[in-house]
Amino acid sequence: MTISETAQFIQDRALTLCYEGTHFRATAPATMAWLERAAIWAWHHDDEQLAAHLYVRIAQVQSARR
């Protein structure tokens, strides 16, 4: 899998996980952990746009937990 394909997979998976994390509170901790690891991967691969997108998703899950 290329870096571009991995980034696309991460972006698609983030959408699914964000939905799960906001609608099913029990999944929120695992969702946030996955999104945080994905954001770190994006930063390490100089994909600032993907990392920013992931941090927005993390914020959405965090706000839904309150």
Residue 65 tokens read as 């937990």
Task: From first to last of the 66 residues of the chain, give the pLDDT tens digit.
Answer: 899 999 999 999 999 999 999 999 999 999 999 999 999 999 999 999 999 999 999 999 999 877
Q: What is the pTM of this model?
A: 0.90
CB-based contact 50:11 (threshold 8 Å): yes
